[in-house]
Structure 1
Amino acid sequence: MESMQVGRAKLTWLNGGVTHMDGGAMFGVVPRPLWSRKYPVNEKNQIELRTDPILLQIDGWNLIIDSGIGNGKLTDKQRRNFGVKEESAIDLSLGELGLRREDIDTVLMTHLHFDHACGLTMIDGEGYSSSFPNATIYTSSTEWEEMQHPNMRSRNTYWEMNWKAIQSQVTTYEEFVEILPGLKMIHTSGHSDGHSIIVFEDEEDMFIHMADIMPTHAHQNVLWVLAYDDYPVTSVHEKQKWMNYGYERNAWYVFYHDAEFRALKFDEEGQVIDQVDRKAYAYDE
């Protein structure tokens, strides 16, 4: 597992599983000859996307960003369609750190699409139970509303089995919420109407988790947005805003989906000046 320190925050990437999604959908209107120079693609036009939660340890608190792909919750057809080559091994990852699921105090859900939210619940007999029974789970009020009442399009990714067992643990917010001093969740919309990013600032140290408005390093270009985005123009504007904000402040950008990098730091011109590689990276052809 890779770890890094940003001010008071220690970040450690857990093994949450992996998907292989259609590259064209992940890069929208960008032609394949352009995006394939920046991110590897297989013969099925799929790109590898990790679903690795980030453990944050700040001021004695154990928090995680998003929850992974879960275990045993996808049908064979879904596993095939989503290119799921491995499921979550969060218990193993936490165990190596001397932790259990019960030790997680807070779960920060940037949004509730299945590849971020399946790890919130576990199969329990004929139903489901909370994966993190002692945690407060934060998500935007807009996202929580759509999770419970999906529309014709979003019902393909907002699933009852991922929310019903944890509804008593959920705390929502409108525009932003400060979780701990310097650690904020900020509602951006864009990828989904309720999508949020996570920003941590501790004096001169800073990280930004852009979630799915910049799911991989190859999406750094503000115009490169996903065909999956509900509000792509909003994604463009929010990405531009928060990339400029981070460039000016020497921020780290940390990733949940990227198969090659855990974190990158850019200068004010957007050039990479530091990086944390995913050490286990080996693209599966």
Structure 2
Amino acid sequence: MEKLKVGRANLTWLNGGVTFLDGGAMFGVVPKALWSRLYPYNDKNQIELRADPLLLQLDGKNILIETGLGNDKFTEKQIRNFGVLEQSSVEKSLKELNLNVDDIDIILMTHLHYDHASGLTRKMDEDEYESIFKNATIYTSAIEWNEMRNPNIRSVNTYWESNWQPVEEQVETFADELEILEGLRMIHTGGHSDGHAIIVFEEGEESFIHLADIMPTHAHQNKLWAMAYDDYPVTSVHEKENWMEYGYNRGSWYTFYHDAYYRAIKFNQEGKKVDEVKRERYEY
């Protein structure tokens, strides 16, 4: 498991599963001739996308950023359409770190689409699910939580009842910004979804920024490259522009949940890569 230390924050990437989604959808209006130079694709025009939660250990707290694909949530049709090749083994990852699900204190959900939130719950029987991380407080934006429970015609396929009903009593929401621990903030941005949030940690000159699905992979660094999946792509563009400028000037690390090749990258003030944490890869 790859690790990164940023100030007093320790990050470890867990194994949350992998999907293969259409490259065109992931890069929206960007021509394939451009995005394919930066991110490989297969013979079906699909690109590999991880769903790997970040374990953030900070001030004696075990914090998860996102929760992975979960297990036994997908129909055969969904497995085919979403290109689900590997489901979650977060519990196994935690065990390797001498932790278990009951040791997780806090979960930070940037948004609640199925590929981020399915790891919150598990199936008990055919129709019932239970919370996996029973001791954790789950934070998400109020807008996101409202849409999760009341999806519209577009979002109903990505906000699943099985991912929210069992954890309803564990959820705490915020409006614009919330400081979770000293220096660790969740900030509502909108863009990918109306309630989408990012995570920023700052301690002195050290910082990391988790832009989640506003910059899902390193190949989305260009501020104009937004996904076709974004509900509000213009918002995504402006938010990415603001937070890339902010992070470039601070020398921040940018962390990834979906990237199959990089866990984190640091850029200089010109946006050139100056440091990296690569993902250890293996062939499927």
TM-score range, shorter chain: over 0.9
Name the CA distance, whole Å, in 1 between partners of 2:197 and 2:174: 10
Letter in 2 for 1:216: T
In structure 1, the partner of 2:15 is: 15
Name the CA distance, whole Å, in 2 between partners of 1:18 and 1:86: 5
Say whether the 8 Å CA contact 1:260–1:281 is kept in structure 2: no
Name the CA distance, whole Å, in 2 between partners of 1:281 and 1:51: 16
In structure 1, the partner of 2:255 is: 254
Q: Secondary structure at the match of 1:64?
A: strand
Name the CA distance, whole Å, in 1 between partners of 2:39 and 2:117: 25
Q: Secondary structure at the match of 2:122?
A: strand
In structure 2, the partner of 1:123 is: 123
After superposition, the C-alpha distances for 1:173-214 in whole angstroms (9 at most, x for unaligned) are 000100000000000000000000000001110000000000
Q: Secondary structure at the match of 2:266?
A: strand
In structure 2, the partner of 1:37 is: 37
Letter in 2 for 1:146: E
Name the CA distance, whole Å, in 1 between partners of 2:196 and 2:282: 27
Name the CA distance, whole Å, in 2 between partners of 1:124 and 1:207: 37
1:279 to partner: Cα distance:
1.1
After superposition, the C-alpha distances for 1:125-183 in whole angstroms (9 at most, x for unaligned) are 24100010000000000000000000001001001010000000000000010000000
Letter in 1 for 2:118: C
Runs of at least 4 residues off by over 3 Å = none
In structure 2, the partner of 1:57 is: 57
In structure 2, the partner of 1:198 is: 199
1:281 to partner: Cα distance:
5.0
Q: Secondary structure at the match of 1:84?
A: coil
Q: Secondary structure at the match of 1:156?
A: coil
Which of 33-42 and 118-127 deviates more? 118-127
1:86 aligns with 2:86: yes
Name the CA distance, whole Å, in 2 between partners of 1:3 and 1:130: 27
Name the CA distance, whole Å, in 2 between partners of 1:90 and 1:229: 27
Name the CA distance, whole Å, in 1 between partners of 2:31 and 2:206: 36
In structure 2, the partner of 1:154 is: 155
1:108 aligns with 2:108: yes
Say whether the 8 Å CA contact 1:70–1:122 is kept in structure 2: yes
Query: How high is the TM-score relative to the length of structure 2?
Result: 0.99
1:69 to partner: Cα distance:
0.2
1:124 to partner: Cα distance:
1.1
**Superposition RMSD on alpha carbons, in Å?**
0.7
Trace 1:69-80 onto structure 2 (pairs within 5 A).
69-80=69-80
Say whether the 8 Å CA contact 1:193–1:230 is kept in structure 2: yes
